[in-house]
Amino acid sequence: MAKKFQFKLEVVRKLRERERDIQRRKVAESIRAVTEAERRVEGLNASLRGTMDDGRNVLSSIRLDLGQVRSQRFYQSWLHGTILESNEELGKRERELTVDREELGRVNARFQSLEKLKEKKWQRHLQEVSKEERAMFDEIALQRYQIAQGDESFVDKVEVMIT
């Protein structure tokens, strides 16, 4: 009877699979951070556009309120600065995402190499089992043939093997 298949590097394969899963989570977290940064920049840009429209409306009115104009200009400059900071953060997050994806590629390649090795070992095991089964069936067929031919010496051997 063939022995049970056992991949000797299964522990290493499981460790690499775990490492791959951890790296996948890290990439997902980086994607989430990039998405949040993009949303923040879009929100700030929308606020800036709204403030600029409000500023045009104030400047086109009949009565000009300098305090309101100053506060809008101050808010617009603050928005510009915040947008620049947010764009820098977005760039940083995108660079981190790129690094994390590259690392995921390396980790995944290491895992896949062990998966391929395991598959090759499994195929080799199946070939060995098949070879053993063929040998066993050939032996059974030979015994039946010899019994059918009336080989008395073989019948005695079969009785000995049975008992």
- Average of pLDDT values for 130-159? 78
Domains of the chain, by residue range, sit at 10-162
Tell me how many degrees the CA angle 118-124-126 measures, rounded to the nearest 5: 105
What is the 3-class SS of the chain, one letter each residue?
A: CCCCCCCCCHHHHHHHHHHHHHHHHHHHHHHHHHHHHHHHHHHHHHHHHHHHHHHHHHHCCCCCCHHHHHHHHHHHHHHHHHHHHHHHHHHHHHHHHHHHHHHHHHHHHHHHHHHHHHHHHHHHHHHHHHHHHHHHHHHHHHHHHHHHHCCHHHHHHHHHHHC
pLDDT in tens, 18-61: 999 999 999 999 999 999 999 999 999 998 888 887 777 766 76
User: Can you name the CATH fold of 10-162?
Assistant: Helix Hairpins (1.10.287)
- Please state whether the predicted TM-score (pTM) of the whole model is above 0.75: no
Check residue 153 and give its pLDDT.
60
CA-to-CA separations, 42 to 51, 72, 85, 144, in angstroms, rounded: 14, 19, 13, 83
Q: Using one digit for the tens of pLDDT, what is the confidence trace for 83-117?
A: 999 999 999 999 999 999 999 999 999 999 999 99
* pLDDT value at residue 155: 54
Residue % of the chain over a pLDDT of 70: 87
